[in-house]
Structure 1
Amino acid sequence: MLLVAAGVSGGAQAGVLDDAKARGALRVGQDYVPPAYTAGAKFRTPEGVDMILAEDIAKRLNLKLDNVPNAGNAGDGKAAQALKGARADIALVTVDENAVRIGAAADGSVLIPTGYSAGAMAIMRTDTDIRKWEQLKGRTVCLSEGGSYVGRMAARYGAVEKVMRAPADSLLAVRTGQCDAAVHDDTMLKELLRLPEWKKFSAQLPPQSRSMLMIRIPAADNAAIAYARQTVAEWSRGDFWPALKKKWTNAVAFEVYLDQNVPDCH
């Protein structure tokens, strides 16, 4: 789920929160915006926690949430364009931990850590012969649409990527033998492996490429910056993060359970 991204509106003088309140909706940029749910379709929990955080931010403001895709990746020449595009009021972006710089950026924005970080982690059957990342070459690796690691496994290790609709589909494919490994955020996978029904699929490759999820806001918008910092501080207290991880994990595990109509592979 974690890539360097950008996509925050300008108009700092008016204030993005004032603009959002005037229209009755907060526009939050995200790396991946899941397709709208349609009646009769199977519900799927999306990769990452962006949507959950966006919903919480908007709820605290008593505003409707409008999700918009981030316009581009920082460093690829699109970050400044995204800021000028006025598509999002604020954005949730993911930044490699080695490249994190908290504070004002050259493109006129401020990055505020949400408190969530994750790295790529692979899980497999416990009897797998895969012991290191390099052994994924030529092996089928399941990932989910919108995840940060799509494309990386093929480019870095020569793996055969199988991109599924959501984490539940990717993890189900590992259980039924369609994939040799599934790669997702280690923060969530470690929580999933606490469940007894995942003991047989608890072989893992160590996390790599850690990134941080951050809130991106126009640097001159003091009101929005203060609001974001206050929200992040509230997230850090109490059981917000433990409850979020448990909710995500239980939802995905239940989705796998409901759809597994064939036995685990042997």
Structure 2
Amino acid sequence: MKSHLLRLLIVLLMPASALAAPLQAVLVGDYRPLKATEAEAVTEGFEAAWLASLGEALGGDIDIVLADAQAQAELRIGEISSGAVYYSSEIAALAAAEAGPAEWTDLAGAPVCIAAGNPHAATVVSRFDGIARAYPSAAQTLIGLKLGECQAVVGDQLLLQQIATLPEWRRYNRLLPVLEESALALRIEADDALLQQRIEQILSSEQGQEMLVEATQYWIDEVAFQAYVLADTLDCH
């Protein structure tokens, strides 16, 4: 009897997050923004870092699961048409400072480096007649530009604006004019309406905005670092 009461007391004193099973989130679509390396596991990237912060704010854990487990996942994140926005960016293009293209129309018939799955590729191809070359990470698109494999890197303004300010990119820091009407938005949606409401409240709060900015900035810096490492490796050969 005493042991039963002791176990009950332990359970009652445990935090609610310890009793709840982790929420499951499935990634929808092929695009992973701010992917730093080709070998980066989805459980170790930007999405996982931000979901960990969101889970902490919700009082539990959030695990990323494979697409074939979508039926069991409580959350969907990525390229979905409804839900709360956790990542958005206009399109941008980065080119060589001196000899690179100066206008979007200069990309007609020219190869451009772009991360695999990035929806901005459709804009480059359909609107400006560019030739999209897909790379497995954002860092590798930048190296493609340095190697002369493309005339410009096309990607998220959120990332490329910061890359252009770095000293190591001073020879490749020309940003083409902003196209504000061409934007992407990645969202998170819960099956449960109450859970969705809680997520939206967190995202709209000061705390939620801060944790999103922190996770985003960390992975922008990680992309920049990995591009630096790759460039340094090239310079050594």
Q: Does 1:89 align with 2:74?
A: yes
Other structure's SS at 2:73 match: coil
Whether contact under 8 Å (1:141, 1:183) holds in the other structure is yes
Q: Does 1:210 align with 2:210?
A: no
Listed as ranges, the matches of 1:104-253 within 5 Å are: 111-114=83-86, 116-205=87-176, 206-208=178-180, 209-218=182-191, 221-234=192-205, 239-253=210-224
- What letter is aligned with 1:216? E
**Alpha-carbon distance in 2 for matches of 1:45, 1:124:** 29
Structure 2 length normalisation: TM-score? 0.71
Structure 1 unmatched ranges of 5 or more = 1-20, 35-40, 71-84, 101-109
Other structure's SS at 1:127 match: coil
**Alpha-carbon distance in 2 for matches of 1:87, 1:201:** 45
Q: CA deviation at 1:168?
A: 0.5
**Alpha-carbon distance in 2 for matches of 1:210, 1:156:** 14
Of all paired residues, the percent bearing the same amino acid is 18
User: Aligned pair in 2 of structure 1 residues 202, 150: CA closer, same or farther (>3 Å)?
Assistant: same
- What letter is aligned with 1:174? L
Moved more, 57-66 or 248-257: 57-66
**Alpha-carbon distance in 1 for matches of 2:90, 2:56:** 28
Q: Does 1:32 align with 2:18?
A: no
Q: CA deviation at 1:134?
A: 1.8
Moved more, 86-95 or 151-160: 86-95
Structure 2 unmatched ranges of 5 or more = 1-18
Whether contact under 8 Å (1:128, 1:203) holds in the other structure is no
- What letter is aligned with 1:213? L
**Alpha-carbon distance in 1 for matches of 2:79, 2:206:** 18
Runs of 4+ with deviation above 6 angstroms: none
> Which residue does the alignment assign to 2:63?
65
Report the number of matched residues. 207
> Which residue does the alignment assign to 1:10?
none
**Alpha-carbon distance in 2 for matches of 1:249, 1:188:** 6
Whether contact under 8 Å (1:90, 1:217) holds in the other structure is yes
